Amino acid sequence: MSELTVLNLGASRLVAVTARANGQGAHIVRSGSAELASVDAAPLRAAAEKCGVAGARVALVVERGRAILRDLELPEGTPEELVSMVRFQVERELPLPVDQVRYSYVETGRGEGKVRVQVAAVPKDLIDPALAAAEGAGLKVTGVYVSSYGLLALSPDGEPAVLIEVAGGEAEILVARGGRMEFSRTATLGEGAPADALAREVDRTLRAFAARSPGTEVARIVLAGEGEAASALAKGLGELLARPVSQAGPGDLETAPAAGLCLGVLRGRPIPDLLHPPAAGRRFRPKAAHRVAALAALVLVLLGVWSQVALADKRRELARKRDELKSLEPRVKAVNRMHEETERALQWTEYRKVWFETLEMLQKHVNPTQLWISSSTFEETGSVRLQGKAQDHKNVTAFVTALEKSGHFSAVKADKNSPNNDRTGYRQDFVITGQLAGYANGKARK
Amino acid sequence: MDRRTQVLVGVVVAAGLAFAADRFLIAPWWTAWTRLSGEIRNVDVEIGKARATLAREGRVMKDWKEVRDRLSRRPEDVRTHFMSHLGSLCDKAGVSLDLTGSPQPQRRGDFQEYVYETRFKLTWEQFVNLLASLHNTKEFLKPSRIAISSQYEREARLDLELKVSTIEYDPVATKPGGRP
């Protein structure tokens, strides 16, 4: 639900109309008028408060007499091109430099490669003081519109019609067709019976329009406003013109155009907003390079995300495996300890056989006629020392070779193999040292 | 900027970006990735070892039970029992036992080891018999040192220094909540 208040700042009077739009359409919720001493912040705030408007979003109405309206026919183009073409035409056709006016436009027709637009322009000198006063009064101005479009919003669509607004001794008369403003003008009604003067101005308008658009019959005359004053004026006008004059609301003679503008804006009719003219919005059109860059950026982002996800997965996997290892460790330690103690105990049973098997092997390889062992020592570490005499150094070498081939020793060598003066025939002294196979860290193994 | 300069600037910017990306994005990620991969490999190896160990848990328990059963079958006073057993082995070999010193216990894991040092003067036949007895005994016995010497003229007489030991199961007391 949206609400809009339209303020018409006249020379000495403020007219305020508030309308609200909901799902069922737009309708007037409040309207009124108050004396306006001057178009300044304080008087405006006071007048607005009298009309029941405070701190609201408002739209200002500029009277038709202060605005310049132009119909342009331009070649079709993009919206950006249309903005440029309109600006170019405004610069050419307006009597003021373009930077000194506020202008806007609406498209009124299109066909045969042409676009028809209606431009509304108002000198900034006439708008900006009212804007400053409204802002100073605490009102947020959301748009500025020409009053003719309020009148137009009251017109019945379809057949050409003359729309008349009478307020403050002036009349605005326009010819509308198909919801489009074809012709408009303002007239001062002067002193006396307004119906007479108004009838004359309407008649002039009809003749001017007939000259401009020959063959176009304007069948209806509509007076904006309801109520007694409006009815009396419509009746008098009809009698003078000898044609029926109908009335269009909501609102009375004074508030009807503002009410029409309110409803028109809320209903989304195309009305040129002098504060927000169509702009040549610079639309971004992606090119191949942009697409490639976007794709590359997307790939990089995906890579970044993937890399972090992969790292997180890796960390989870490591944590899971560590937990698994931790859960196995107590049993593993118990088994290792059991195995270690079993191996230790077997040193006193199974593994001691290494010693005896070695002694047996020595006995097998010693030929007493060639070699005699006088001393042999077997240590717990597996080291063996054999000392003795031989008939010849070749007997020692052959003995060492036999020990090596026996497989009982991981290392064996003759530390000493030298002749002596023994008269027994054993002329060679020898010392053989070796290490029993199957020993690790001083312990026997199977 | 002419085309050539634009290309050069582009190349320099791309190289700079590549360097920065490598230095501040790729390198930290790669370091973390390789560290994690290495740690996972190490843990996998450890898990493999642990599973291999657990795969032989049944056999280890069986072996250990056998050892414990054998140990528990002996009398409580292991030292006296072993002395007696050693004496009987010597008698069987026909030699008299000559102990030097009193055995002092030495800790070997969950066991106490008692070492006995003996000296013998014996014939070759007695030596062979003694060795056979020592070899065949069912007792927990281990020769720690054997030193044999003989003289050419008296080849049949041997001097034997024998150091043997036995063990007693005596596990180290564990702290409350510690490993059994």
B153-178 confidence digits (pLDDT tens): 666 788 999 999 999 998 876 555 54
Please tell me the distance from the alpha carbon of residue A162 to that of residue A187, in angstroms, as a whole number.
14
CATH for B76-169 is: 3.30.70.60
Cα distance from N-terminal residue to C-terminal residue, chain B = 82
CATH for A1-154+250-283 is: 3.30.420.380
pLDDT greater than 80 at residue A110? yes
And the tokens for A286? 């992606």
pTM, two decimal places: 0.50
Please tell me the distance from the alpha carbon of residue A224 to that of residue A167, in angstroms, as a whole number.
10
Domain boundaries, chain A: 1-154+250-283, 155-248, 284-345, 353-444
Which residues on B lie below 8 Å from A327 (Cβ)?
Answer: none
Residue A305 pLDDT: 94
Closest CB from A335, A346, A376 relative to B60: A335
| Residues whose CB is less than 8 angstroms from the CB of residue A409 and which lie 6 or more positions away in sequence, other chains included | A384, A403, A434, A435, A436, A437
Residue A162 pLDDT: 85
Interface test with B, best of A332, A354, A359, A441 (most B CBs within 10 A): A332
Nearest CA to B167 among B116, B117, B113? B113
Q: Do A356 and B140 touch (CB under 8 A)?
A: no
Q: Do A377 and B63 touch (CB under 8 A)?
A: no
Q: Do B53 and A335 touch (CB under 8 A)?
A: yes
Which residues on B lie below 8 Å from A325 (Cβ)?
Answer: 43, 46-47, 50
Please tell me the distance from the alpha carbon of residue B153 to that of residue B106, in angstroms, as a whole number.
41
Question: Does domain A155-248 bear CATH number 3.40.250.10?
Answer: no
Residue B59: CB atoms within 10 A of its CB come to 12
Which residues on B lie below 8 Å from A383 (Cβ)?
Answer: none
Lowest mean pLDDT among A53-62, A96-105, A137-146: A53-62
Q: Name the B residues in 91-150 with CB < 8 Å from any A CB.
A: 108-111, 131, 134-135, 140-150
pLDDT greater than 50 at residue A83? yes
Q: Name the B residues in 29-48 with CB < 8 Å from any A CB.
A: 29, 32-33, 36-37, 39-40, 43-44, 46-47
Q: The domain A353-444 belongs to what CATH superfamily?
A: General secretion pathway protein M, EpsM (3.30.1360.100)
Phi/psi at B155 (nearest 5 deg)? Answer: -60, -30
Cα radius of gyration rounded to whole Å, chain B:
35
**What does each C-alpha distance from A191 to A195, A196, B106 come to in angstroms?**
11, 10, 139
Cα distance from N-terminal residue to C-terminal residue, chain A = 96
Residue found under tokens 């582009």: B10
Residue A98: CB atoms within 10 A of its CB come to 14
And the tokens for B73? 């079958």
Q: Name the B residues in 63-82 with CB < 8 Å from any A CB.
A: 63-64, 67, 70-71
Which residues on B lie below 8 Å from A378 (Cβ)?
Answer: 143, 145-147
Which residues on A lie below 8 Å from B179 (Cβ)?
Answer: 333-334, 337
A353-444 shares the fold of A1-154+250-283: no
Q: How confident is the model at residue A46 (pLDDT cuts 50, 70, 90)?
A: confident
Please tell me the distance from the alpha carbon of residue A188 to that of residue A175, in angstroms, as a whole number.
18
| Residues whose CB is less than 8 angstroms from the CB of residue A72 and which lie 6 or more positions away in sequence, other chains included | A86, A89, A93, A105, A116, A117, A118, A119
